[in-house]
Amino acid sequence: MEQHQLQKRVVVCGGGVIGVCTAYFLAKKGAAVTLVEKSSVACAASGKAGGFLALDWCDGGPIASLARTSFNLHRSLSEEFDGPRSYGYRPLTTLSLTLNESEVTPSGSKSSSLPSWVDGPARVPRTMGSRETTAQVHPQLFTCTLIAKAIENYGVEVVIGKLDRLEVEGGRVRSVVLEGGRVIESDAVVLSLGPWSSKLELLSSMFRVYSLKAHSIVLEPKEPDAITPHALFLTYHPSHGGPPMDPEVYPRPTGEVYLCGMSAVAEVPDDPEQITGNPESIRMLKKVAKTVSSHLAEGEAQVKAEQACFLPCTDDDVPIIGEIPGVKDCYVATGHSCWGILNGPATGAAMAELVIDGHSSIVDLKRFSPARFVGGGKG
Ligand SMILES: Cc1cc2nc3c(=O)[nH]c(=O)nc-3n(C[C@H](O)[C@H](O)[C@H](O)COP(=O)(O)OP(=O)(O)OC[C@H]3O[C@@H](n4cnc5c(N)ncnc54)[C@H](O)[C@@H]3O)c2cc1C
């Protein structure tokens, strides 16, 4: 028999970090993979996220082993694909800081444990992560590098088209049908649609994936070399009062500084390209930037991007990864909330094992099964 006749044909729908990692690991394990993406690879949250990675921040919770496995997989992928140069992988020190917008820093009162570029009214920092336990990637470059490797090394095919529906026969998935009528036959299908999971009836009839809209800006400071590799998690008291906010600041090795925050539950629009930020939220992030550092104030830094994207969230805060009850060979991987970039590699590797071998050994997927939402919640 020809090699391609022996290969399992798998269609992965959704070209975010979860779909791309799944396509990569499936193809590496020998499957013939087609990735269907309606817009462009990494066009949504997977291209606009912070890209922060932490080894042990999920310890004690249901995703601890997924996160630890994935942090280590990120490190090995980076070694394999020259991550520092290809997609800005680097270890980081991570600090937690409190800033009061209306405070002025009298000269000479700055804490010596703050990085020199953090010259705003920040209180003595607490170290949350070291270079051994925290790291970062540029999420869009990471996702695009991985799909390029999947195409180049393992022949993954990328189809730009919108999944319209699945054809199911005798309780088993047979093909995916794209908008416009194109049919792609398959032995297995993986649905990794992020917040758009809620738009597919097969999934929305079983569980809820709701979306949280979050904002971000990307700045290019005039003096990038002044900015050291320190990620900052802020407790920020705005001058207008109200509850403190919790924006995050990620300097990148590309010379950019990324800031994000300002999130709220919102409905995801059909077209990922139509997602825009709310001007008030963007204005607030710029204010945060200049309060943190004079290097990030208007005039000292150019604004490269003002954007928003949607986190895919589940009702129990646990991702949904597994075979869909009642539809053989049809799998789902979504609901990664604020840790999708971290958990993409382990999700993809575990999903590849599940689809090809029938079970995953790299991560125990029982806790993630969609079966927990069906028939009284047994997983
Ligand atoms: C502001 C912000 C900062 C973040 N920072 C971090 C961070 O520092 N670290 C971290 O680990 N995580 C972070 N995250 C979370 C992370 O970005 C997400 O968990 C992750 O990107 C989700 O990936 P995904 O592949 O599930 O979804 P998405 O990236 O949303 O991808 C889904 C894809 O499916 C496609 N699609 C949808 N419907 C169809 C269809 N019918 N047919 C074909 N294709 C379709 C879409 O076009 C899209 O490309 C952040 C998120 C936000 C919003």
Full-model pTM? 0.96
Count Cα neighbours of 42 within 13 Å in the Cβ-side half-sphere.
21
Helix (H) or strand (E) holding 210: strand 209-221
Name the closest-CA residue to atom 52, ligand 1.
Answer: 49
Q: Does residue 86's CB lie within 6 angstroms of at least one atom of ligand 1?
A: no
Instruction: Give the atom of ligand 1 at the shortest distance from the alpha carbon of 164.
Output: 41
In contact, 332 and 190? CB cutoff 8 Å? yes
Rounded distance between C-alpha atoms, residue 99 and residue 92, angstroms: 21
Q: What is the 40 CA–ligand 1 centroid distance (Å)?
A: 12
Residue segments in the chain with a per-residue pLDDT below the cut of 50: 1, 106, 378-379
Q: Does residue 312's CB lie within 6 angstroms of at least one atom of ligand 1?
A: yes
Name the closest-CA residue to atom 4, ligand 1.
Answer: 49
Count other C-beta atoms under 10 Å from residue 31's C-beta.
22
* The pLDDT value given to residue 326: 95
> Where are the domain boundaries for CATH 3.30.9 in the chain?
93-130+211-314
Tokens of 231: 């990620």
Q: What is the 195 CA–ligand 1 centroid distance (Å)?
A: 7
* The pLDDT value given to residue 301: 97
* The pLDDT value given to residue 1: 47
Domain 3-81+138-207+316-373: what homologous superfamily?
FAD/NAD(P)-binding domain (3.50.50.60)
* The pLDDT value given to residue 110: 61
User: Parallel, antiparallel, or unpaired: how do β-strands 9-13 and 188-191 relate?
Assistant: parallel
In contact, 191 and 332? CB cutoff 8 Å? yes
CATH of domain 93-130+211-314: 3.30.9
Q: Does residue 37's CB lie within 6 angstroms of at least one atom of ligand 1?
A: yes
Sign of the CA dihedral 326, 331, 334, 335? positive
Q: What is the 208 CA–ligand 1 centroid distance (Å)?
A: 16
> Where are the domain boundaries for CATH 3.50.50.60 in the chain?
3-81+138-207+316-373
Tokens of 355: 């689809």
In contact, 197 and 254? CB cutoff 8 Å? no
Cα angle vertex 266, ends 280, 197, to 5°?
Answer: 140
Rounded distance between C-alpha atoms, residue 268 and residue 157, angstroms: 27
Name the closest-CA residue to atom 51, ligand 1.
Answer: 49
